[in-house]
Structure 1
């Protein structure tokens, strides 16, 4: 039965559920569908009213911190959680299997298990490597404690049995004899053939999504980069750098670009020009803002002039001529434009002149 990395099958009627942890724990080995402690806890929390939860296991291991958290979640719910080795419980999965109560640990007849110490990678000076070794010793102490509790052995006995730097493969009979799990009559899930002779990375490939399997099986997706590592830095060509960058893009790796030393020097030199360019940009920005203010002022002035032009025109004044009609009392008036008031005043004067 092929399942996704974390699948839940629940039966509301019987208040029982099964959680299938099939795959790799955490992001170890660049797994595209990882099992995480956070997701596992979410699934367990959603089933808190259920009377029994069967956790089915099938995988090669993974991130030690993720599977330790899963172990603790199972340990905190020991009354209702049963663990099952459906095919392979290797590395971290072995410790998860051992985290349930003794009577709640099960294994298929044809299942396989594997135990070993915590592993890691280290880089640096001698003190860095010593610190890494000390860190692994702490992890081993915790892992040995899980197996000691599961088997009834002392921690030193567990270390002598499994913590010698080797991978210890076990059949279902071995697992039962050691007190890790009881054999049950059900079919195990498929595991790789000759699994005990395979490197762990190839075992992991069996439980990894197809698009990652080539990398797990040893196919080199960065052939140009591998070839470049053999070339002296001074002899690296632009064509070789381009080929490596194309591989990086093809693998959708973001934030990484390979450049020649000469290109890096040019970039560094250009970066040194940035402060002066910033000063010029600031000056130009200030000048632009001043011009904008001038435009705003001129726009306001134009708007005011348009407003004046839109006012009603002043009433035209009638011209006054200097001609007379010979009527007594008339007099010449200097030619000019007459206002309304002047016109009314002149009319009154004309009426008064007509009165004897």
Structure 2
């Protein structure tokens, strides 16, 4: 996360898998590290630019991130820099505005889970994942308004539907399309190819996100400052 010099706006990047056990070195995001950095920004921030390029991941972690953003007083503007897949496509639905470059993608589908146990436990797991899917569906419907009905959405969710920017705009899941960008969509490894259906060929062939050296250096500087600040705070709190 990066705040502007006047503290009135901030940029937040979700570039990687959303997971409970996140390794920031690999671009992963968890609700805990998201909360820690969002708290540092404070509530004086008036506009948050949320940049997403993610294959998705843990729906529970994503729902926690959604709740935090929903509570924050700032105006949220989401930018789908490359791809927003699975639960990463739900996060921008609470935004005041969703912007997609012409070459970006959004993938929507029903929530999935793995289960082990007896018949009663398996039935409970099915009921649980169905309730999660219903909650996610409502976010899409609320964003789309009258451009998308529940029957059409249900059919799209069944098929792991990959939406272009134009299609997302048509269904009300995007508010504005801008010129195609130079960023590369998150490259899907075997884990995601096996888990998701109909993965576009280009996502299996592209390298990881290309970030200019100057931007990478700036992000590294911000990350080091954040770690130093957290370390300092921990020292102070530890002495109280």
Same fold (TM over 0.5): yes
Shift of 1:69: 1.1
SS at match of 2:91: helix
Shift of 1:194: 9.6
Cα 1:37/1:30, change in 2 over 3 Å: closer
Cα 1:98/1:114, change in 2 over 3 Å: same
Q: In the alignment, which residue of structure 1 is the partner of 2:3?
A: 10
1:54 aligned to which of 46, 49, 61: 49
Shift of 1:188: 5.1
Shift of 1:189: 2.2
Cα 1:69/1:114, change in 2 over 3 Å: same
Shift of 1:159: 4.5
Q: In the alignment, which residue of structure 2 is the partner of 1:169?
A: 162
Partner Cα distance (1:72, 1:80) in 2: 14
Q: In the alignment, which residue of structure 2 is the partner of 1:190?
A: 184
2:137 aligned to which of 144, 155, 166: 144
Q: In the alignment, which residue of structure 2 is the partner of 1:81?
A: 76
Report if aligned partners of 1:61, 1:91 keep a CA contact under 8 Å in 2: yes
Shift of 1:161: 3.4
Partner Cα distance (2:119, 2:81) in 1: 42
SS at match of 2:16: strand
Cα 1:117/1:188, change in 2 over 3 Å: farther
Partner Cα distance (1:44, 1:93) in 2: 18
The aligned runs of 1:1-356 (5 Å cut-off) are 8-13=1-6, 15-27=8-20, 34-47=28-41, 48-77=43-72, 79-101=74-96, 104-153=97-146, 156-157=150-151, 159-164=153-158, 166-181=159-174, 182-185=176-179, 187=181, 189-191=183-185, 198-200=193-195
Structural RMSD (CA): 3.2
Cα 1:158/1:49, change in 2 over 3 Å: farther
Report if aligned partners of 1:148, 1:158 keep a CA contact under 8 Å in 2: no
Alignment: residue pair count:
197
Cα 1:158/1:68, change in 2 over 3 Å: farther
Normalization by structure 2: what TM-score? 0.71
Instruction: List runs of 5+ in structure 1 lacking aligned partners.
Output: 1-7, 209-356
Report if aligned partners of 1:110, 1:188 keep a CA contact under 8 Å in 2: no
Shift of 1:71: 1.3
Partner Cα distance (1:169, 1:100) in 2: 20
Partner Cα distance (1:37, 1:193) in 2: 22
Report if aligned partners of 2:82, 2:183 keep a CA contact under 8 Å in 1: yes
Instruction: List runs of 5+ in structure 2 lacking aligned partners.
Output: 210-240
SS at match of 1:174: helix
Shift of 1:99: 1.7
Cα 1:56/1:30, change in 2 over 3 Å: closer
RCO higher in structure (CA 8 A, sep ≥6): 2
